[in-house]
Amino acid sequence: MNEKRLERVGALIHRAVAAFLERRVKHPDFGFVTVTSVKLASDLKIATIYVVCRGDEEERGISFRILEKLVPSIRKDLKGALKLRWIPHLVFKNDETFDHADRIGLLLREIEGEEKGT
């Protein structure tokens, strides 16, 4: 599949899912969730949506369970927004990029502190 088309469709899904979560999800236990990226399978049948959920482990788990329950509604919303023959299956995954960056920053500060101590 054309790489540019995958990027365009991914960007459309990114915007549509982010807008859906912002305007339609009113669940009191749904935490602050940010869509960071969308990766599409080359055949457009699966869209992996990476999100960052704020909060502790329990709050993130609740947010992910709510996301999983919302998949049919999100796909229905995408059907109206996208002009595709079929809407991809949506899979939500935790984007660990920020967690890794925080961990690296912490390690660098520890190293810096050890060097100042010697």
pLDDT digits (tens, 9 = 90+) for 34-89: 899 999 999 999 999 999 988 888 888 888 999 999 999 999 999 988 888 889 99
- Decide if pLDDT at 92 tops 80: yes
The mean per-residue pLDDT over the stretch 87-98 comes to 88
**Per-domain boundaries in the chain:** 3-117
**Global pTM value:** 0.78
Which CATH fold topology does 3-117 show? Answer: GMP Synthetase; Chain A, domain 3 (3.30.300)
Helix, strand and coil percent figures for the chain, each rounded to 5: 60, 20, 25
pLDDT of the residue at 99: 66
The mean per-residue pLDDT over the stretch 19-31 comes to 81
Residue partners of 107: CB distance under 8 A and separation at least 6: none
pLDDT of the residue at 87: 92
